Amino acid sequence: MALPQLDIHTISQVDASSIDSLIGNTPLLGFRKLTAHLPENVRIYAKAEWMNPGGSVKDRAASNIVREAIRSGALTHDKILLDSTSGNTGIAYAMIGAAKGYRVKLFLPGNVSPERTAILTAYGVDIVYTDPLEGSDGAIRGVRALAAAEPDKYFYADQYNNAANWQAHYNTTGVEIWKQTHGSVTHFVAGLGTSGTLMGTGRRLKDYDAKVQVISLQPDSPFHGLEGWKHMQSAIKPGIYDEFLADRDIGISTEATYVMARRLARDEGYLVGISAAAAMVGTLQVAEEIAARGEEAVIVTLFPDNAYKYLSESFWKQ
């Protein structure tokens, strides 16, 4: 029996370089119940970033960082890709490293969710745990010390200071949002981790239309449960973060986020991660204020990942 002929697209998907081509072009989601109290002319949409092959928005940044490092010669096959991460960037590096044949070593805060550690272990990456009390800053300090001690052995990707991080969003996320809303977007709302998402997407949307309002979200206190987000006033400030890009900054509470995570799952069928729920809290606040003023808006936010890595959290049980 003759084997069926594979078309060229099927073949190219198993090619090592094509992992990049699976990243991005995520759907833009609408809502039913959560937005039912808003007038017709105040709309909310969210990019479903868990549709990326590594399961999060960080596939975009990691793939651009790796591509740029290979292009510039900073990453060669005799070097180990090194960085600090709270999880998602690490998962993206692990996937891309495996696909392209690079070894990966990651510094993680000791309290990252067990699901994240399990995924990284499955990909076979080398993990160094830092003091959980120091959070992501402890991981940053640890990785900097190793990169400085053995510069020839490692390519230190440094997502917090690498322009390829925000440029990934300038070249993809921002363009996609503009096209998917047919240029009607008026507000972009996103949380801050490295700030790559907000910087790159915000800059691109403002380049398309300077009137687009960019709103950054942060945890409302230094001690919070919003994994992936940074409280900028009390944390090591990322080099790529420009605090003057956003037109407005809103603090989000962990408690309101947990309530929203359950509502998104139960009222909309979107089983999203904690930072996605936090983004929705901020986005709804913005939408309600606009509606109260009687104005129109097309507000876009971004759901960085889904809930699969956070299912051990007890707030789901309420």
What's the Rg (C-alpha) of the chain? 20
**Interior CA angle at 53 toward 299 and 12, to 5°?**
120
Using the rule CB under 6 A, give the single segment among 12-20, 30-38, 105-113, 188-196 that binds ligand PMP.
188-196
With CB under 6 A as the contact rule, the residue among 35, 194, 301, 306 that binds ligand PMP is 194
Q: Strands 80-84 and 154-156, how do they pair? A: parallel
Residue 176 sits in the site that holds ligand PMP (CB under 6 A): no
Residue 196 sits in the site that holds ligand PMP (CB under 6 A): yes
* Nearest CB to ligand PMP, comparing residues 87 and 97: 87
- b/e per residue 221-249 (b: at least 16 CB within 10 A): eeebbbbbbbbbeebeebebbeeeebeee
Residues marked active site are found at 58, 275
**CB of residue 191 vs ligand PMP: minimum separation in angstroms?**
5
**CB of residue 287 vs ligand PMP: minimum separation in angstroms?**
20
With CB under 6 A as the contact rule, the residue among 193, 202, 219, 282 that binds ligand PMP is 193
Give the footprint of ligand PMP on residues 32-71 (CB under 6 A).
56, 58
Q: Strands 126-130 and 213-219, how do they pair? A: unpaired
User: What phi and psi, each to the nearest 5 degrees, are found at residue 119?
Assistant: -65, -45
Using the rule CB under 6 A, give the single segment among 38-46, 76-84, 227-235, 261-269 that binds ligand PMP.
227-235
Residue 195 sits in the site that holds ligand PMP (CB under 6 A): yes
Kindly give the interhelix angle for 163-171 and 173-180, rounded to the nearest 10 degrees: 20
**CB of residue 43 vs ligand PMP: minimum separation in angstroms?**
23
Using the rule CB under 6 A, give the single segment among 17-25, 65-73, 127-135, 225-233 that binds ligand PMP.
225-233
What six digits make up the tokens of 296? 């129109």
**CB of residue 104 vs ligand PMP: minimum separation in angstroms?**
16
* Nearest CB to ligand PMP, comparing residues 6 and 311: 311
HSE at residue 210, side-chain half, CA atoms within 13 A, is 0
With CB under 6 A as the contact rule, the residue among 192, 240, 272, 307 that binds ligand PMP is 192
Amino acid at 121: T
Q: Please, are residues 280 and 26 in contact by the beta-carbon 8 Å criterion?
A: no
In angstroms, the CA 182 to CA 184 distance is: 6
In angstroms, the CA 186 to CA 183 distance is: 9
* Per-residue contact string for residues 104-143; x = within reach of ligand PMP by CB under 6 A: ----------------------------------------
Where do contacts with ligand PMP occur on this chain (CB under 6 A)? 56, 58, 86, 88, 191-197, 227-229, 273, 275, 304-305
